[in-house]
């Protein structure tokens, strides 16, 4: 069984429609794929329908943008939650709104030095999609400032750049609680991705576990080797679900579908724990 539980469509910062993502997953030889767009679930219906047509397993999910009390970014994957649970929807709407304000600020700063503007960014973002730095990167590519998203993230869009602006997001402990209330399963995404910026202190892991965190995404290309050792010990100590996944973004990132996989027993645990939405298996 080839199971990949982390992939993005153009409902957020992936480059393919949810349906095309499912077709790509099938072409990549996957048996099960999860759709985990940032901060919204509007791709679920199309993905589920195409998965049913293709005969591939589908796990509806999402990746919630969070920020801990010290300002460190945390991404929380969740699976099989009730997509209509209002307290979670309220948080997500606020978060997507703050993303727009923040993206406009980044664009205003960049526009002082480069030929880009908000309209150009919108040309690279589907209406209603969760806007993020990748869409600004695409605008910079079309303006000829950088070669690709990766180059943009290495320089002008990096968290260390003078153009970088952060945005307020939900506390990861609250996100974990809301996912639980919505009948979903929460998995801390790429927790030791030190190349992307600061990683949380050990106390944040314990806070999230105390709040009811279900699992850790360990086999992910951005987790450091030492980080994976730490995560495996933590998962064993607290009997957490462990996942592996690609974090595919279509042509927007080098990550390939199926480059990391999740064990079938772990998917079984996710499905057995969740009560908010059905998986298609
Ligand atoms: P944001 O949520 O706006 O802060 O942007 C972060 C998003 O950018 C993440 O979801 C990543 O998928 C994406 N990202 C981070 N680094 C890179 C990179 N080097 N190339 C392409 N996309 C990236
Ligand atoms: Fe992303
Ligand atoms: Fe992420
Ligand atoms: Zn992701």
Neighbours of ion ligand 3 (CB under 5 A): 75, 189
Closest C-alpha to ligand 1, atom 15: 153
Pocket mutation for ligand 1, best pick of 133, 195, 217 (most atoms within 8 Å of C-beta): 133
Question: Looking at ligand 1, which atom is closest to the CA of residue 65?
Answer: 2
pLDDT digits (tens, 9 = 90+) for 230-249: 999 999 999 999 999 999 99
Ligand 1 atom nearest to CA at 134: 8
Rounded-to-integer distance, Cα 41 and Cα 57, Å: 17
Q: Do residues 220 and 193 lie in contact, with contact meaning Cβ atoms separated by under 8 Å? A: yes
With b for 16 or more beta-carbon neighbours within 10 A and e for fewer, the 8-37 pattern comes to bbbbbbbbbbbbbbbbbbbebebbbbbbbb
| Beta-sheet pairing, 185-188 with 73-79 | antiparallel
Residue 215 has pLDDT above 90, yes or no: yes
* Nearest alpha-carbon partner for 216 in 198, 196, 201, 233: 233
Instruction: Identify the residue whose C-alpha is closest to ligand 1 atom 11.
Output: 134
Q: How confident is the model at residue 195 (pLDDT cuts 50, 70, 90)?
A: confident
pLDDT tens digit sequence for 41-69:
999 999 999 999 999 999 999 999 999 99
Atom of ligand 1 nearest to the CA of 99: 3
What separation in Å is there between the alpha carbon of 53 and the centre of ligand 1?
31
| Structural domains in the chain, sorted by start | 3-93+167-273 (3.20.20.140), 96-154 (1.10.150.650)
- What mean pLDDT is reported for the chain? 97
* Ligand 1, residues at Cβ distance < 6 Å: 13, 38, 132-134, 149-150, 153, 249, 252-253
């Amino acid at each position: 069984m080839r199971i990949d539980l982390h992939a993005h469509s153009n409902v957020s910062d992936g480059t393919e429609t949810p349906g095309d993502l499912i077709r790509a997953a099938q072409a990549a030889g996957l048996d099960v794929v999860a759709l985990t767009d940032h901060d919204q679930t509007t791709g679920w219906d199309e993905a589920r329908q195409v998965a049913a047509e293709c005969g591939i397993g589908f796990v509806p999910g999402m990746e919630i943008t969070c920020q801990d009390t010290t300002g460190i970014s945390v991404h929380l994957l969740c699976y099989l939650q009730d997509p209509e649970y209002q307290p979670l929807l309220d948080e997500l709407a606020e978060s997507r709104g703050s993303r727009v304000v923040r993206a406009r600020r980044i664009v205003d700063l960049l526009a002082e030095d480069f030929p880009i503007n908000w309209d150009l960014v919108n040309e690279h973002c589907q209406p209603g999609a969760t806007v993020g730095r990748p869409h600004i990167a695409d605008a910079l590519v079309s303006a000829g400032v950088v070669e690709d998203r990766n180059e943009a993230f290495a320089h002008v869009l990096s968290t260390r750049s003078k153009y970088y602006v952060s945005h307020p997001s939900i506390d990861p402990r609250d996100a974990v609680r809301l996912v639980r209330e919505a009948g979903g399963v929460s998995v801390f995404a790429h927790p030791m991705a030190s190349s992307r910026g600061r990683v949380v202190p050990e106390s944040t892991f314990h806070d999230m576990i105390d709040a009811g965190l279900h699992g850790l995404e360990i086999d992910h290309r951005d987790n450091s080797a030492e980080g994976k050792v730490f995560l495996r010990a933590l998962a064993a100590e607290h009997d957490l679900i462990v996942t592996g996944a690609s974090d595919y973004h279509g042509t927007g990132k080098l990550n390939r579908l199926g480059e990391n996989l999740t064990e079938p027993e772990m998917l079984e645990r996710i499905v057995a724990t969740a009560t908010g939405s059905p998986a298609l298996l």
